[in-house]
Amino acid sequence: MTYPGFDFYQLNTRLSDAQRELRGQVRSYMEQIVWPAINPYWERAEFPRELALGLKALPIVGGMVHGYGCAALDPLSLGLVNYELSRGDGSIGTFFGVHSSLAMGSIGLLGSVEQCERWLPAMAKMEKIGAFGLTEPLRGSDASHLLTTARREGDFYVLNGAKRWIGNASIADLLVIWAKDEAGGLGGFVLEQPQDMPGVRIEDISGKISKRAIPNANITLENVRIPLENRLAQSHSFRDTAKVLTLTRYGVAWEAAGLAAGCFEIALKYTQEREQFGRPIAGFQLIQQKLVEMAAELTQMQLVCFRLAELMAVQQLNESMVAMAKYNNARKARYIAQLARETLGGNGILIDNHIARLFTDAEAVYTYEGTNDINLLIVGREITGLNAIF
Ligand SMILES: Cc1cc2nc3c(=O)[nH]c(=O)nc-3n(C[C@H](O)[C@H](O)[C@H](O)COP(=O)(O)OP(=O)(O)OC[C@H]3O[C@@H](n4cnc5c(N)ncnc54)[C@H](O)[C@@H]3O)c2cc1C
């Protein structure tokens, strides 16, 4: 029952054989296939299509969704998949999170049976890739007050507006665009083959220091015509969008823990092997202080994740519980990445040692799916009853 990763409180013993097997499959893919190949893609800021699409061989796609050929994972397995992907590489992890959770989750949670039947089977096989367009140039944290509009015209909605930071957009076959309708409601509108649609412009953002191996795009929408049946049937208000975000933030809490585990495990190995002053640097008190600090924080992150999975399994997980986990884990991931990088000295800033990649990815994890400030304020609102967000 041993686990090759850091697991001080033996959480491994809480897993079923099937969960352990699944985690091992994802870990092997990341260590054996992704690790040897990912760095040049990261350096060139190029999407590693084959590495990303290789994930379809694992039984993990559409883990949030039951039926339609989706993986239908239990909450703990869902979390473990996120942990292992992000322990390996943040770009691959985010590519998968956008496709499998944000896009497929939106359709699975808010689509009608007909919409699920129409889009999910091909997405589950990764024959079609999904993206999720909520953020706008002028509406980031304030995503509940979007400026993008959907005006009804006969059998169509006509979309106008702009989106920013949209992961997978330039490679997507299906893009969920969130827009305000004339009644003031909010809907998710599915664009099919968006790159080819009249009125849609998708331009990748260059110069990113984080998640460099996946594309994030600016999108403009000018009189884009969408058939009525492409509005997700159960998407009426931001509350519906928030249901998707609660589930995907659950994944991000695990993602942050996985990223931190990757950093810590690299640092532990390196400091045991690297010698200075005639002995391994792990034998020096100051290095041990950093290692123990990382180990203690990581263990707390893991405990938070395992408890969230229990709450989710009994349908008790709510928005503020997830917000606290995302807040806690994202800032600890950033801290651990910083300490781990430091223990590698100069080698810590080279991508060859994998840690520099994880270190920069921690910045995006800290900011997306609700910045740390916003997640903090969601918890603040819950425990005080007072809204300090707006
Ligand atoms: C790598 C990456 C991938 C992404 N992928 C996607 C995607 O696939 N789809 C998508 O829709 N979006 C995506 N995003 C967007 C992401 O969700 C936003 O960046 C995030 O919500 C913050 O919005 P913003 O960047 O506009 O920052 P802003 O909202 O402008 O915030 C700037 C600063 O102000 C603070 N702030 C804002 N409001 C308040 C407040 N009320 N109180 C206190 N402080 C406040 C913030 O915490 C932050 O520190 C991605 C972002 C990144 C970086």
Model confidence at 311, pLDDT cuts 50, 70, 90, reads very high
CA 141 to ligand 1 centroid distance, Å: 5
Q: 3-class DSSP state for residue 227?
A: strand
Q: 3-class DSSP state for residue 339?
A: helix
Q: pLDDT exceeding 70 applies to what percent of the chain?
A: 99
Q: CB within 6 Å of ligand 1 — which residues?
A: 98, 132-135, 140-141, 165-167, 210-211, 216, 364, 367-368, 371, 373-374, 377, 389-390
Within this chain, domains 11-124 and 238-384 share the same CATH topology = no
Residue identified by tokens 């060139």 is: 44
Cα–Cα distance for residue pair 275/127, rounded to 1 Å = 49
Q: Which CATH number fits domain 130-230: 2.60.40.10, 3.40.190.10, 3.10.20.600, 2.40.110.10?
A: 2.40.110.10
In angstroms and rounded to an integer, the radius of gyration of the C-alpha atoms of the chain is 21
- Give the CATH class of 238-384: mainly alpha
pLDDT at 1: 47
Query: 376-386 burial, b for 16+ CB within 10 Å, e for fewer?
Result: bbbbbbeeeee
Which is the closest atom of ligand 1 to the Cα of 208?
1
> Which residues are 204's β-sheet partners?
217
pLDDT at residue 235 is higher than 80: yes
Tell me, yes or no, if the pTM score tops 0.95: yes
pLDDT at 2: 58
pLDDT tens column, 345-370: 999 999 999 999 999 999 999 999 99
How many C-beta neighbours within 10 Å does residue 153 have? 10
Q: How many CA atoms lie within 13 A of 96 on its CB side?
A: 34
Which is the closest atom of ligand 1 to the Cα of 135?
11
Contact indicator for 177, 166 with CB cutoff of 8 Å: no
Which is the closest atom of ligand 1 to the Cα of 178?
11
Q: List alpha helices for the chain, DSSP H.
A: 17-28, 35-44, 49-53, 75-88, 90-96, 104-110, 113-124, 238-273, 285-313, 319-343, 355-367, 372-384
Q: CB-based contacts of 319: which residues, under 8 Å, 6+ apart? A: 242, 246, 378
**Ligand 1: which of 141, 145, 331, 375 to mutate, most ligand atoms within 8 Å of CB?**
141
Model confidence at 4, pLDDT cuts 50, 70, 90, reads confident
pLDDT at 262: 98
How many C-beta neighbours within 10 Å does residue 162 have? 18
Which is the closest atom of ligand 1 to the Cα of 371?
47
Q: CB-based contacts of 110: which residues, under 8 Å, 6+ apart? A: 188, 232, 233, 234, 235, 240, 243, 244
Query: 225-250 burial, b for 16+ CB within 10 Å, e for fewer?
Result: ebeeebbbeebbebebbbbbbbbbbb
- CATH fourth-level superfamily of 11-124: Acyl-CoA dehydrogenase/oxidase, N-terminal domain (1.10.540.10)
- Domain locations in the chain as residue ranges: 11-124, 130-230, 238-384
Average pLDDT (288-306) is: 98
pLDDT tens column, 80-97: 999 999 999 999 999 999
